[in-house]
Amino acid sequence: MLSRVAYSLYWMSRYMERSDGILRLLRVNYAYSQDEYKQLSWRPVLRIFSTMKPADKIKIQYQSRTVLKFMIANKENQNSVLNLISNARENARSVQDNVTKELWQCLNEYYHQIRQNHVEISLHKDDPISVIDSLVTRGMHYYGTFEITMARSEGYYFMNIGKYLERAIQSVDILDVKFSEVDYSLEETTDPTYWKFLLLSISGYELFLKSYRSALDSTNILNQIIWNDNFPRSIIYSVNRLQKSFETLKSDKNSESYKALSRMIGRLESDIRYTGIKDLHEHGLKHYLHKIKKELFAIADAFNLYYFAFK
Amino acid sequence: MNTNQLFNAYPTDSKVWDEMFSSTEVREPYKRILHFLNQLSGDELNQKEEMARRLFMSQGVTFTVYSSGEGIEKIFPFDIIPRIITSTEWEFIEKGIKQRLKALNLFLNDIYSNQFILKDKIIPIDMIYSCEHYLREMHNLKVPNNIFVHISGIDIIRDTDGTFYVLEDNLRTPSGVSYMLENREITKRIFPDLLPQNFVKPVNDYPQILYKNLAALSPRHNSNPNIVMLTPGIYNSAYFEHSTLARLMGIELVEGRDLVVDSHRVFMKTTRGLVRVDVIYRRVDDEFLDPLIFNSDSMLGVAGLMSAYRKGHVAIVNAPGNGVADDKATYIYVPDMIKYYLNEEPILKNVPTYKLDDPNQREHVFKNIENMVIKKTDASGGYGMIIGNAASQQEIIDYKKVVVENPRKFIAQPIINLSSSPCYIQGKLQPRRIDLRPFALFGKNEIEIVPGGLTRVALKEGSLVVNSSQGGGSKDTWVINDKI
């Protein structure tokens, strides 16, 4: 496969994963804001997904609709869902012959839907959840079409690499921001509702109840989001999938590149797997999360260097 | 809406050949579809039109217009009423195009080697050497199977009395074939069952024929040659076509930056290292192909490509240098070429054309300018032309001035009343002018033309310019069997 094509597929997939993550987070946060008697701050959401200046974040942190419009339909915000979908589509367009026609149509329809003016208008005056749901459904349509129609060849695996790398980064980011709001404390003093909505926003609440019964404390939260092999948004699951997809790229023709990346991914995977809550108490959660994030970024850089270097 | 409303107001013009209506009645090949249309209400027709628009949009059959930093998606306008050609008419057109291409291909072989046609003074030498698209780099270069014009689009028009003429030969990188294929797909959706009922000949084997021809050019004799399609990239207005054809043939779509030349061989950069390329179907113009030989600023081409080509390590389709044969000044001599190379009478006529570097002809043209079209010899897409009866006095004066400065660059033709065809516009049928671009594939053993081609429509009332860049649209084109 052409390096340029692999690069475009990888980014298309990352943008789609990111847009899905953002939409789910926004949906739950908005619902939460309707539930609370005290005002809910959108600052953590803005911290995870936007490069807005801190002062501006504080300015709009209590204005749900302004934040929703900014995060979904704003053209200036490079991480708005609108721009992410446009980017994903632009990437797909440049490699149209390498994705199935169905998948291309799916992205194309999503793009045309989100570009309509009434998205922004509805976010301003109607029920935002309906708007977000209709977009999330588009995303699900994309994921389904991706799984059902794409041939299990290199392109598919590069897309998976993008998807799981992005997901791992997101999960680390979400933990980082949410825990930084409580000073990375591992003590069990935080309001359980706070954790409940965190889990809801990454579709992990039901699994959590089944796995840990009802104890909504920070230890169980970390267990679920970092180490739960059965939770599709946990860091270990994402890294594991990343590793599996990567292993399919092995061939005689690129053994050097393969070895270099294989070592990095393998090291990260075991590092996560063989760390426990006890180690976090010893070395600090903040340090640990930042270390994982740094390694994920290093893996992304290595892909650029070894697999996508077409310049 | 009943028949009367749909058709009553249909204006006919005795100076224009209408494809559906003769002065007295509906032409035979259109009777069946007209009967079908008559059974539909206005709402149903509008729904079909809307459905076609939606299908184009969701399939991304669009081109992008960039304004104020933002891309706006436009669909290439599609008229739902098909244009019909009978198989008798088609056989005539097909024979004419094949004859013409044979001669043009012989001309290119000749002009880049022995130049007998110049030595025998059939074509003036200075006309060739003054042509910008004549490439000295192609001289004595042996092209595979002696084919230069692998893919061509010959534009055919119809005058007042229904005679077919060749308006233009497009032998470089003609586009539009993807619209021919898509238009047919859309018709299948909006008019179920109508195609088989009308015995319409299928067009969908175009990609397979093209693939077979490309594979036959591979310099390496292996069973699975590596064929790529070279595109300028997503900002090119024909990008949709490039990706569609690549997909339909199952070949890799590459950009210049994906390729590299090493030891006069072309390779593509993949995730598993360099992979040798055998055949390049390029949709990049000659001058951008190789920055070492042509335009040195080009980012679209590949450095060293021409040397690999010259050594025969890679095939390029179409061959570089074809522009000398579809230059509008060369066009004048195509009937002579047919006689010279084939010893045959031309089947398809040329539109009478005046050379403006001949003072007598120029004077004649300027005197009768209100009946003339003047065109630049090296332009296409409907750019750089002036239509005598549609331009203002000032525009004509200015244009004449430019012509006199460099008359070699211009030709003139009498204004041809392109035939009209009914289009569904604003709830009723209205006549609009059309042309036809059949796509011919020149293979090792034969020339193949899928029946039909792209019918382009000038959607503006009264307009004679069908180019998509000038507000043109298209129709599905049916060649129907009239011999059953």
pLDDT in tens, B118-145: 999 999 999 999 898 999 999 999 999 9
pLDDT value of residue B177: 96
Separation in Å, CA B62 to CA A111, B1, B178: 13, 31, 11
Nearest CB among A2, A6, A94 relative to B252 is that of: A2
B373 three-state secondary structure: strand
Percent of chain B with pLDDT over 70: 95
Interface contact A33, partner B, CB < 8 A: no
Dihedral sign for Cα atoms in the order B319, B325, B326, B328: positive
CA gap B165, B174 in Å, rounded: 19
Q: Which of B248, B271, B281 to mutate to test the interface with A (most CBs of A within 10 A)?
A: B271
A231-235: long-range pairs with CB below 8 Å, 24+? A231/A204, A231/A207, A233/A167, A233/A170, A233/A171, A233/A202, A233/A203, A233/A204, A234/A171, A235/A168, A235/A171, A235/A172, A235/A272, A235/A292
What is the separation, in whole angstroms, between the first and last Cα of chain B? 33
Q: How far is A73 from chain B (nearest CA, A)?
A: 15
Q: What is the DSSP letter of B377?
A: T
Q: Are B354 and B360 in contact (CB under 8 A)?
A: no
Interface contact A248, partner B, CB < 8 A: no
**Judgement on whether residues A238 and A93 belong to the same structural domain of the protein:** no
Across the interface, whether the CB atoms of A97 and B73 are under 8 A apart is answered no
Tens digit of pLDDT for each residue in A257-282?
Answer: 899 999 999 999 999 999 999 999 88
B255: nearest CA partner in chain A: A4
Interface contact B64, partner A, CB < 8 A: no
Q: Are B269 and A2 in contact (CB under 8 A)?
A: yes
pLDDT value of residue A94: 87
Q: What is the mean pLDDT of residues B245-263?
A: 94
CA gap B167, B330 in Å, rounded: 13
Q: B381-390 burial, b if ≥16 CB within 10 A, otherwise e?
A: ebebbbbbee
Interface contact B95, partner A, CB < 8 A: no
Q: Are A212 and A220 in contact (CB under 8 A)?
A: yes
pLDDT value of residue A37: 63
Across the interface, whether the CB atoms of B271 and A2 are under 8 A apart is answered yes
CA gap A28, B207 in Å, rounded: 49
- Averaged pLDDT score across all residues of chain B: 91
pLDDT at B93 over 60: yes
**Judgement on whether residues A12 and A34 belong to the same structural domain of the protein:** yes
Selected residue with higher pLDDT from B345 and B240: B345
Domain ranges of chain B: 3-86+417-480, 90-170+205-342, 352-414
Q: Rounded to an integer, what is the distance from CA B168 to the centroid of its chain?
A: 8
CA gap B456, B438 in Å, rounded: 11
Q: Are B233 and B239 in contact (CB under 8 A)?
A: yes
Interface contact A116, partner B, CB < 8 A: no
Q: What angle do CA B240, B298, B331 make, to 5 degrees?
A: 70
Residues of chain A with pLDDT under 70: 36-38, 188-189, 310-311
**Judgement on whether residues A118 and A172 belong to the same structural domain of the protein:** no
Across the interface, whether the CB atoms of A307 and B271 are under 8 A apart is answered yes
**The domain boundary residue, chosen from A124, A150, A176:** A150
Residues whose CB falls within 8 Å of the CB of residue A42, separated by 6 or more in sequence, listed in order: A29, A33, A60, A61, A62, A63, A64, A67
**Judgement on whether residues A5 and A145 belong to the same structural domain of the protein:** yes
A132: containing domain: 1-150
pLDDT value of residue B454: 96
B33 three-state secondary structure: helix
**Judgement on whether residues A7 and A57 belong to the same structural domain of the protein:** yes
Contacts of A249 in chain B (CB under 8 A): 271
**Judgement on whether residues A138 and A286 belong to the same structural domain of the protein:** no
CA gap B44, A257 in Å, rounded: 59
CATH number of B90-170+205-342: 3.40.50.11290
Nearest CB among A1, A97, A310 relative to B243 is that of: A97
Interface contact B239, partner A, CB < 8 A: yes
Task: Grade residue B310 by pLDDT with cuts at 50, 70 and 90.
Answer: very high
**Judgement on whether residues A188 and A130 belong to the same structural domain of the protein:** no
Task: Grade residue B4 by pLDDT with cuts at 50, 70 and 90.
Answer: very low
Closest CA to B441 of B230, B145, B190, B228: B145
Tens digit of pLDDT for each residue in A141-153?
Answer: 999 999 999 999 9
Across the interface, whether the CB atoms of A2 and B270 are under 8 A apart is answered yes
| Backbone phi and psi for residue B314, each to the nearest 5 degrees, phi listed first | -150, 145
Q: Which of A7, A86, A87, A97 to mutate to test the interface with B (most CBs of B within 10 A)?
A: A97
CB atoms within 10 A of CB B402: 15
CA gap A1, B128 in Å, rounded: 43
**Judgement on whether residues A158 and A87 belong to the same structural domain of the protein:** no
Across the interface, whether the CB atoms of B269 and A104 are under 8 A apart is answered no
Contacts of B272 in chain A (CB under 8 A): 1, 251, 253-254
**Judgement on whether residues A203 and A277 belong to the same structural domain of the protein:** yes
The secondary structure element, H or E, covering residue B269 is strand B265-270
Q: What is the DSSP letter of B342?
A: I
Which alpha helices (H) appear in B359-462, and where do they start and end? 359-367, 393-405
Contacts of A161 in chain B (CB under 8 A): none
**Judgement on whether residues A44 and A192 belong to the same structural domain of the protein:** no
Residues whose CB falls within 8 Å of the CB of residue A158, separated by 6 or more in sequence, listed in order: A1, A6, A9, A10, A13, A245, A307, B271
CA gap B453, B436 in Å, rounded: 7
Q: How many domains does chain A have?
A: 2
The secondary structure element, H or E, covering residue B213 is helix B206-215
Contacts of B238 in chain A (CB under 8 A): none
Query: What beta strand segments (E) does B53-172 contain?
Result: 62-67, 70-75, 78-86, 151-158, 164-170
CA gap A88, A201 in Å, rounded: 23
Across the interface, whether the CB atoms of B234 and A93 are under 8 A apart is answered yes
| DSSP secondary structure letters along B128-142 | HHT-TT--GGGTT--
Separation in Å, CA B350 to CA B124, B156, B328, B347, B354: 19, 10, 11, 10, 12
Nearest CB among B59, B251, B258 relative to A310 is that of: B258
pLDDT at B3 over 70: no
pLDDT value of residue B2: 44
Q: How many residue contacts between A and B have a Cβ separation below 8 Å?
A: 69
Contacts of B246 in chain A (CB under 8 A): 97
CA gap A59, B392 in Å, rounded: 59
What is the separation, in whole angstroms, between the first and last Cα of chain A? 16
- In CATH, which of 3.40.50.12780, 3.30.1490.270, 3.30.70.1380, 3.40.50.300 is domain B352-414? 3.30.1490.270
pLDDT value of residue B248: 93
Do strands B410-414 and B372-376 pair parallel, antiparallel, or not at all (unpaired)? antiparallel
Half-sphere exposure of B28 (CA within 13 A, CB side): 8
Per the DSSP assignment, residues forming a β-bridge with B410 are B376
Interface contact B57, partner A, CB < 8 A: yes
pLDDT value of residue B299: 86
* H, E, C per residue of chain A: CEHHHHHHHHHHHHHHHHHHHHHHHHHHHHHHHHHCCCCCCCHHHHHHHCCCCHHHHHHHCCCHHHHHHHHHHCCCCCCCHHHHHHHHHHHHHHCHHHCCHHHHHHHHHHHHHHCCHHHHHHHHHCCHHHHHHHHHHHHHHHHHHHHHHCCCCHHHHHHHHHHHHHHHHHHHHHHHHHHHCCCCCCCCCCCHHHHHHHHHHCCCHHHHHHHHCCCCCHHHHHHHHHHCCCCCCCHHHHHHHHHHHHHCCCCHHHHHHHHHHHHHHHHHHHHHHCCCHHHHHHHCHHHHHHHHHHHHHHHHHHHHHHCCCCC
Q: Are A152 and A89 in contact (CB under 8 A)?
A: no
Q: Are B400 and B366 in contact (CB under 8 A)?
A: yes
The secondary structure element, H or E, covering residue B98 is helix B87-111
Q: Are B431 and B10 in contact (CB under 8 A)?
A: yes
pLDDT value of residue A309: 72
B405 three-state secondary structure: helix
Task: Average the pLDDT over each of A282-286, A290-294, B72-76, B458-462 and give the range with the smallest value.
Answer: B72-76
CA gap A285, A275 in Å, rounded: 11
